[in-house]
Amino acid sequence: MIEDELLKWRFKRGSKEALRRIYEKYLNHLLTLAMALLNDAGRSEDVVHDVFVSFAGSAKDFKLAGNLKSYLTTCVMNRARDRIRASRRDPMQLDAAQAVCSNLNGPDHAIISSEESHRLNRGIAQLPVEQREVIVLRLKGEMTFREVAELHGVSVNTIQGRYRYGLNKLRSVLNGEVIK
């Protein structure tokens, strides 16, 4: 937390080293979130890249009193939502995105490339966006229900309900049942 405050302060003053450290510190976390939401490595990398390009360009006007990780998570979530909305307008893009397998390299490669992980990602991709986001933020983003509620601007009870309904639907999908 103290490191983040120092990084924010240095970033605001134009430190490229601070920007590099922020990027290194949060890249894997943000890629994991984007991948869980979009189920497409290329689109996930694009989203995270776009967020950091925008973030880097905002140094002079940057004003953040809150948590840096939550801020970047919110930015990635918003960009991912935009990509999902664009996919709905272009059905061919959505079909292609669901068929793509991850080509990420590094320590996450073994986990992401496993059949169980692919099955889980496909199941999560079938959930309604609101439920998908809550599950991803809670499990992969390691956020509390309260943090997710603040991020979405709704009550903790609403977030807990979306989480519960999402897990129930995910169980149904993984058991081969059709969800509605």
More confident residue, 124 or 179: 124
Checking if the pLDDT of 47 tops 90, the result is yes
Closest CA to 136 of 57, 38, 11: 38
CA 24 remoteness from chain centre: 16
Q: Is the pTM of this model over 0.85?
A: no
Position 31 scores a pLDDT of 92
Q: What is the mean pLDDT of the chain?
A: 82
Select the CATH number that applies to the domain covering 2-114 from these four: 1.10.1740.10, 3.30.70.600, 3.30.365.10, 1.10.10.10: 1.10.1740.10
What digits encode the pLDDT tens for the residues 96-121? Answer: 444 444 444 555 555 555 677 778 87
Domain locations in the chain as residue ranges? 2-114, 126-180
- The full DSSP string for 74-132 is HHHHHHHHHHHHHHHH-HHHHHHHHHPPP---STTHHHHHSHHHHHHHHHHHTS-HHHH
Position 94 scores a pLDDT of 42
**Which tokens belong to 43?**
């689109």
**b vs e for 82-106, b when ≥16 Cβ sit within 10 Å of the residue's Cβ?**
ebbeebeeeeeeeeebeeeebebee
Position 180 scores a pLDDT of 56
Closest CA to 50 of 82, 93, 79: 79
Contacts 24+ apart (CB under 8 A), 25-31: 26/68, 26/69, 26/72, 28/108, 29/69, 29/73, 29/141, 30/72, 30/73, 30/76, 31/104, 31/108
Checking if the pLDDT of 55 tops 50, the result is yes
What CATH number labels 126-180? 1.10.10.10
Q: Mean pLDDT over residues 110-133, rounded? A: 77
- Tallying the residues shown for the chain, one arrives at 180
